[in-house]
């Protein structure tokens, strides 16, 4: 074993001793990244089609991004929300301009963004009715995070059961089944939360009819529509936010992952009746919206504009779709292909865990699953056709 191999084993052994065992990690220690590639301690190159679970939109080690973050690092990291800071105003303006929303609250993560969004729905209904006890409608097979509040609206019993009782008053409808949503609306309902494209649930885009129907239900019953764009937003679908392709605007939206290109930052945004629902003291955060993370978000949004990332995603999304369709047609074990832009999935007739691990360890290809039977393709948004072709060669070899 090389010295680098020995060092890898030492790192893994140390991590296993000290880190809480909530992940079954692959036996790889990544040391650095460049573009759409990762490198382990031994210098092996891995093609990355997971992007840190749809986070690294600009790829790894982007020089202009690094320069901006280094500059902010030398100025100011944190001051608390008792004071103003310019990067927060800059990032807020860019994010509102991109989303056409009205107000933004910066958080530390997507899960925290969901927590804030749920509070807006409940606060709005409290302001309207003068009472609490309101309910939320969420979707089966959804995923919104692992805090108790976000877990309460996550439609997967596997994640929920060990931690009950969870937030009361949550009812689950079937995704893309408008009648099932309509049947759950009652006088206590205050909001509906859903992913515009279900990610962990298997890469299922909402149908236009369904999304428009849910919007109409919310308008009819004065409910808050929350769209979770944490994974499918920030350009991944080919639009800055996936709901923009449908022309259906939410009252509240959550965003995170690619917003900071690796720096932990999320946000919830509101407009219309939800924009002023929360009052001073209703919500807060120690770290959220600090100068460092907001400089990251502002830089990402600016580089998206300057580099025409959305146009590139649309081109590459079409190419990835065509190549995956060709791949699916050549393999009977592939039984489904879904998605938009650079968030796509192949469904197999078997669990994909062995395929993903073989691709990683034998072919130096990073892939992630979405549920038991779906391989999820969420590469950095700067991916090229050559990268797609190489990925499919490696996937072919893994099968």
- Contact call for residues 189 and 221 (beta carbons, < 8 A): yes
For position 361, what pLDDT does the model report? 94
* Phi, psi for residue 183 in degrees, rounded to 5: -70, -20
Of 161, 344, 178, the closest CA to residue 248 belongs to 178
Say how far apart CA 394 and CA 399 lie, in whole Å.
9
Does residue 262 sit in helix, strand or coil? coil
Find all residues with CB under 8 Å of 229, minimum gap 6, and list them.
195, 196, 241, 242, 243, 253, 254, 255
For position 365, what pLDDT does the model report? 98
pTM greater than the 0.85 cutoff? yes
Asked whether the predicted pLDDT for residue 88 surpasses 80, the reply is yes
Does residue 299 sit in helix, strand or coil? helix
3-class DSSP string for 162-212: HHCCCCCCEEEECCCCHHHHHCCCCCCEEEEEEECEECCCCCEECCHHHHH
- To which residue do tokens 């081109």 refer? 315
For position 6, what pLDDT does the model report? 87
Average pLDDT over residues 89-108: 98
Average pLDDT over residues 37-65: 98
Asked whether the predicted pLDDT for residue 2 surpasses 90, the reply is no
For position 1, what pLDDT does the model report? 56
Confidence of residue 91 (pLDDT cuts 50, 70, 90): very high
Q: What is the DSSP string of 336-390?
A: EEEEETTEEEEEESS--HHHHHHHHHHH-EE-EESSSSEEEE---TT--HHHHHH
Confidence of residue 5 (pLDDT cuts 50, 70, 90): confident
For position 369, what pLDDT does the model report? 97
Extents of the domains making up the chain: 3-61+308-398, 76-306
Q: Percent of the chain, pLDDT > 70?
A: 99
Say how far apart CA 373 and CA 356 lie, in whole Å.
11
**Peptide bond before 165: cis, by omega within 30 degrees of 0?**
yes
* Phi, psi for residue 272 in degrees, rounded to 5: 55, -130
Give pLDDT tens digits for 156-206. Answer: 999 999 999 999 999 999 999 999 999 999 999 999 999 999 999 999 999
Burial of 141 (0-12, 13-18, 19+ CB in 10 A): middle
**DSSP at 94:** H
Q: Which CATH architecture has domain 3-61+308-398?
A: Alpha-Beta Complex (3.90)
What integer best gives the mean pLDDT of the chain?
A: 97
Of 252, 263, 261, 202, the closest CA to residue 229 belongs to 252
Does residue 257 sit in helix, strand or coil? helix
Assess if CATH 2.60.120.10 describes domain 76-306.
no
Confidence of residue 336 (pLDDT cuts 50, 70, 90): very high
Give pLDDT tens digits for 195-214. Answer: 999 999 999 999 999 999 99
């Amino acid at each position: 074993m090389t010295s680098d191999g020995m060092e890898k084993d030492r790192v893994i052994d140390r991590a296993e001793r000290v880190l809480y065992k909530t992940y079954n990690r692959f036996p790889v220690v990544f040391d650095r990244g460049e573009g759409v590639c990762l490198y382990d301690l031994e210098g092996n190159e891995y093609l990355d089609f997971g992007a840190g679970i749809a986070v690294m939109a600009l790829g790894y080690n982007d020089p202009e991004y690094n320069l901006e973050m280094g500059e902010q690092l030398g100025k100011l990291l944190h001051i608390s929300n008792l004071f103003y800071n310019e990067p927060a105003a800059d990032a807020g303006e860019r994010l509102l301009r991109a989303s056409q929303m009205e107000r933004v609250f910066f958080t530390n993560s997507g899960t925290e963004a969901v927590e804030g969004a749920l509070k807006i729905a409940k606060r709005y209904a409290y302001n309207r009715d003068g009472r609490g006890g309101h309910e939320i409608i969420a979707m089966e097979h959804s995923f919104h995070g692992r805090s108790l509040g976000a877990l309460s609206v996550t439609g997967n019993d596997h994640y929920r059961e060990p931690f009950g009782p969870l937030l009361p008053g949550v009812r689950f409808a079937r995704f893309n089944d408008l009648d099932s949503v309509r049947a759950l609306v009652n006088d206590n309902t205050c909001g509906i939360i859903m992913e515009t494209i279900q990610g962990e649930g298997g890469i299922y885009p909402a149908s236009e009819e369904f999304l428009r129907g849910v919007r109409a239900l919310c308008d009819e019953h004065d409910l808050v529509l929350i769209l979770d764009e944490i994974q499918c937003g920030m350009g991944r679908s080919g639009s800055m936010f996936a709901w923009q392709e449908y022309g259906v605007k939410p009252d509240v939206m959550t965003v995170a992952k690619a917003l900071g290109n690796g720096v932990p930052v999320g946000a919830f945004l509101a407009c219309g009746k939800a924009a002023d629902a929360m009052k001073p003291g209703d919500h807060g955060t120690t770290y959220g919206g600090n100068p460092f993370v907001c400089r990251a978000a502002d830089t990402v949004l600016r580089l998206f504009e300057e580099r025409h990332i959305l146009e590139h995603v649309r081109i590459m999304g079409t190419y990835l779709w065509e190549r995956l369709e060709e791949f699916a047609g050549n393999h009977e074990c592939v039984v489904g292909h879904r998605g938009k832009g650079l968030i796509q999935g192949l469904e197999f007739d078997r669990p994909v865990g062995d395929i993903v691990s073989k691709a990683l360890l034998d072919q130096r290809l990073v892939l992630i699953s979405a549920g038991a039977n779906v391989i999820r393709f969420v590469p950095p948004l700067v991916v090229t056709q050559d990268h797609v072709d190489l990925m499919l060669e490696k996937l072919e070899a893994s099968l």
